[in-house]
Amino acid sequence: MKKLFFSLKLVLFLVTTSCGYQPIYSNVNSNFNIRNVEIKNNNELNYKIKNSLKVFSRSKSNIEYDLEIDGNKTVSIISKDAKGNAKIYRMTVKLRTKIFRDNKNIDEISSEENFNYNNKTNKFNLKQYEKDIESNLIEKNIENIIFYITNLE
Sheet holding 104-118, edge to edge: 33-39, 64-80, 86-101, 104-118
Q: What is the pLDDT of residue 133?
A: 94
- Across all residues in the chain, what is the average pLDDT? 83
User: How many whole angstroms separate alpha carbon 63 and alpha carbon 101?
Assistant: 8
Q: What is the pLDDT of residue 4?
A: 73
Q: What is the pLDDT of residue 114?
A: 95
> How many other C-beta atoms are found inside a 10 Å radius of the C-beta of residue 39?
16
Q: What is the pTM of this model?
A: 0.75
* Whether the predicted pLDDT of 29 surpasses 60: no
Give mean pLDDT, residues 59-75.
Answer: 86
91-100: pLDDT as tens digits: 999 999 999 9
